[in-house]
């Protein structure tokens, strides 16, 4: 059921990594709230499937994009603006997690985690910021992770990148604080998505643990002893984009059942 949200209705929102997981659920929430949404991601088939699922709910645009490629980002956002107008809301959701012991973290893995999780946020934000500054209005929400608020073993590169996203969020929020733009991050704990499925597969493949044992090990980190639902993350994003959240700026909001206090 659609429920229009003041401050969101009629706005053009871009969601990167919008074909699955938190991105897809967030895009659906924005569409129901009345936003015109551009889905961006590398998997065109998934993006088109998501657009089909939202058919009839609102205006949804699809653009294939690798957020790590500067020229591709520039072209994609120019195309998005040409189709649906200037971007009012940017949800930097595209990301990737890969685990390895620190001693086995080679430069390729390290660079890949930084490129996808941090440089992509920088490039996409840079693409929309000039017009937001010109209009003195905009919302930027970075989907970081509790990995940006604490440390986890075996994912040093991912944690470093997500800590970088939070640092970028805080810095830019201060820079644009008087210009009608807010910049915030949401930091999900382990969330029921394909990324979690991949994490569980990696644990079982590299240890003697069963899938159930792997799930229980991750669940122990959440005081509520459950995984986060992607809808719970999407609700936090939607609130940060809506009217009435103007004073929320530079924050890293943990959506983790109390794992991060």
- Domains: count for the chain: 2
Q: How far is 164 from 258, CA to CA, in rounded Å?
A: 22
CATH number for the domain harbouring residue 183: 3.40.50.720
| Structural domain containing residue 48 | 12-189+229-248
pLDDT of residue 3: 61
| Residue (of 52, 59, 62) closest to 30 by Cα position | 59
Residues 39 and 138 grouped into a single domain: yes
Is residue 175 in a domain?
A: yes
Give domain status of residue 130, yes or no.
Answer: yes
Q: Is 203 part of any domain? A: yes
List the catalytic residues.
158
Q: pTM for the whole thing?
A: 0.93
150 and 58 in a common domain: yes
Within a domain: residue 2?
no
12 forms beta bridges with: 36
Residue 207 lies in a domain: yes
Query: Does residue 256 lie in a domain region?
Result: no
Q: Quote the CA–CA distance of 212 and 231 in Å, as a whole number.
A: 24
The answer to whether the CB of 97 falls within 8 A of the CB of 157 is: no
Distance from C-alpha of 145 to C-alpha of 97, rounded to nearest angstrom: 11
Note whether 49 and 71 are same-domain residues. yes
Q: What is the pLDDT of residue 1?
A: 45
For 95, 107, 210, 235, 241, the CA distances from 118, given in Å and listed in that order, are 8, 16, 32, 23, 21
**Residue 220 token pair:** 């122990």
Based on the fold, state whether residues 119 and 241 are members of the same structural domain: yes
Same-domain check for residues 125 and 215: no
Which pLDDT score, from 0 to 100, does residue 56 have? 85
Most distant CA atoms of the chain, gap in Å? 56
- For the CA atoms of 147, 256, 190, 143, the dihedral, rounded to the nearest 10 degrees, stands at -60
User: Same domain for 68 and 155?
Assistant: yes
What pLDDT sits at residue 5? Answer: 62
Do 223 and 239 have their domain in common? no
* Per-residue pLDDT tens listing for the chain (261 residues): 456 667 899 999 999 999 999 999 999 999 999 999 999 999 999 999 999 999 888 899 999 999 999 999 999 999 999 999 999 999 999 999 998 899 999 999 999 999 999 999 999 999 999 999 999 999 999 999 999 999 988 899 999 999 999 999 999 999 999 999 999 999 999 888 877 777 777 777 777 778 888 788 888 888 998 889 999 999 999 999 999 999 999 999 999 999 997
Whether residues 210 and 162 share a domain: the answer is: no
Same domain, 150 and 31: yes
């Amino acid at each position: 059921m659609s429920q229009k949200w003041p401050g969101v209705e009629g706005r053009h929102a871009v969601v990167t990594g919008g074909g699955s997981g938190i991105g897809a659920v967030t895009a659906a929430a924005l569409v129901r709230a009345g936003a015109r949404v551009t889905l961006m991601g590398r998997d065109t088939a998934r993006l088109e499937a998501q657009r089909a699922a939202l058919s009839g709910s609102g205006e949804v645009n699809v653009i294939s994009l690798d957020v790590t490629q500067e020229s591709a980002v520039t072209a994609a956002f120019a195309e998005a603006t040409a189709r649906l107008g200037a971007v009012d809301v940017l949800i930097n959701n595209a990301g990737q997690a890969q685990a390895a012991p620190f001693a086995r973290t080679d430069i390729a893995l390290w660079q890949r985690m930084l490129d996808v999780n941090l440089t992509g946020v920088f490039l996409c934000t840079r693409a929309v910021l000039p017009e937001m500054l010109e209009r003195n209005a905009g919302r930027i929400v970075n989907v970081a992770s509790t990995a940006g608020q604490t440390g986890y073993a075996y994912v040093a590169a991912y944690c470093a990148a997500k800590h970088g996203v939070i640092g970028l969020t805080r810095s830019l929020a201060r820079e644009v604080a008087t210009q009608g733009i807010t910049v915030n991050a949401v930091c999900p704990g382990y969330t029921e998505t394909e990324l979690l499925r991949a994490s569980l597969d990696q644990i079982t493949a590299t240890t003697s643990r069963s899938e159930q044992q792997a799930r229980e090990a991750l669940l122990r980190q959440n005081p509520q002893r459950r995984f986060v639902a992607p809808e719970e993350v999407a609700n936090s994003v939607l609130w940060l984009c809506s009217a009435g959240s103007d004073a929320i700026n530079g924050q890293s909001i943990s959506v983790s059942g109390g794992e991060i206090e």
